Amino acid sequence: MKLQVVGCNHHGSSVAVRERLAFNAAQARAALDDWRKTFPQTEAVLLSTCNRVEVYTASENDEQGPSHEAIVEFIASFHDIPVYDIFDDLFERTGEDVIRHLFTVAGSLDSMVVGEPQILSQVKMAYELANEQQSTGPLTHGIFQAAVRVARRVSTETTIHQRRVSIPSIAVADFGSQIFESFDDKHVLVIGAGEMGEETLHYLRQAGANKISIINRSFDKARELAARWEGQAEPWESLLSALVRADVVVSTTGASEPILDRQQFERQVAPGRFQRPLFVLDLAIPRDFHPAIGDCLGVYLYSIDDLSAACQKNQRQRDQELPRALSIVEEETSRFMAELSHRATAPIIRRLRKNWEAIKGDELTRLFNKLPQVNDHQRREIEQSFDRLVNKLLHPPLESLRDESRQGTPHNLLDALKRLFQIHDE
């Protein structure tokens, strides 16, 4: 049995490398089709996200599976990239380390933001796509179904997934959810076109927000960001009227002083809002909204310092949960490897016992032919004696095999038993 994963991720490869090697859905389908033709006896699942590109492979026979170099060549060839350009960027894991790695990935313990929920659905989608392309088989079915089980255990038995540690995710999920039950009917206004604002938009979209306006001093940049998020760009001059309409504000400008003070808010924004709740995420440094605006009726104003404090608290709490999550991965890895070992050893045990039972049967027949005078009671006693003898002789090798299986390393002993007792593959 041969298990491998070859790929790259955010730990050891740059964004540029991951972009070159990434597969969209159509490319993944084509690659898995090519895989089936190139390595027909090896199962494969291709996981491609913004943070990782990993090819998981499994074959029943050690001799059938492709080498590390062959998998790298396959990836490079598909993307029309020279092998030497990417070889050093692609790691390889084999055997038990493959299982541990996948379980860690599915449980979101290997993510750039530990505990983020998207990776499990991405693992499921990769597995389902491989099923559709018929590149999976018994081994990958077992491995990926177990990975989903592990991820669910991590989610239910720890609070890893509840401890968000990125400022945008905390802003939306921890703070915004205290103000609004949902975001699908809320008008989101983003002031500025920075990365933090766009990341916050990502979480707002996930929470259901679909009405988005973008305002930036450069209207062209506002229009670019609006196009990416299917929103509407508005000129800087419409800032005050946009604030009247907004329910959620994300502000990330690079202004050197506040773009709005309390007096402006009370005179030009508040009268048109009729005390509707306004959730303001001031992610700018220096702050875009004067802190006194937070004292106005219906305004919930949070600065980046407020969110950073929540991040640090969540980080501490999540770090306390991490050992428990990793112990689940180790427990499930050991369990799965034992199941794989049993799968490998069971046929050998069955054939060994079958061979010895055949020998026992032949000897009993020969003995009873020579002793026709024995009665039924004596026959049963003799048969039971032979049974006990066979079981006692089989016990040491089978017990050793089971011990090796529990440790996940039965292969050398299996090969020795097959040679010693001349057990041939069926």
Residues tagged active-site: 50
Cα–Cα dist 47/29, whole Å:
12
Cα–Cα dist 218/230, whole Å:
18
| 382 CB-side CA count, 13 A | 15
Encoded amino acid at 114, one letter: V
Q: Strands of 29-117 (E only): list them.
A: 43-48, 52-59, 91-94
Q: Which residues pair with 301 in a beta bridge?
A: 280
Task: List CB contacts of 375: < 8 A, sequence separation 6 or more.
Answer: none
CA 82 to chain centroid: 29
Specify whether the CB–CB gap between 56 and 136 falls below 8 A. no
Angle at the Cα of 313 (from 312 to 317), degrees rounded to 5?
Answer: 115
> Is 123 exposed, middle or buried, given 0-12, 13-18 or 19+ CB atoms closer than 10 A?
buried
Length of the chain: 426
Which residue in 133, 89, 162 sits closest to 313, CA to CA?
Answer: 162
A 10 A CB-CB count for 423 gives: 18
Task: List CB contacts of 313: < 8 A, sequence separation 6 or more.
Answer: none
Tell me which residue has tokens 């505990």. 115
What is the dihedral angle through the alpha carbons of 372, 375, 381, 387, rounded to the nearest 10 degrees?
Answer: 40
Cα–Cα dist 330/336, whole Å:
10
Cα–Cα dist 370/172, whole Å:
87
Specify whether the CB–CB gap between 381 and 367 falls below 8 A. no
CA 70 to chain centroid: 25
> Is 374 exposed, middle or buried, given 0-12, 13-18 or 19+ CB atoms closer than 10 A?
middle
Please state whether beta strands 278-282 and 91-94 pair in parallel, antiparallel, or not at all (unpaired): unpaired
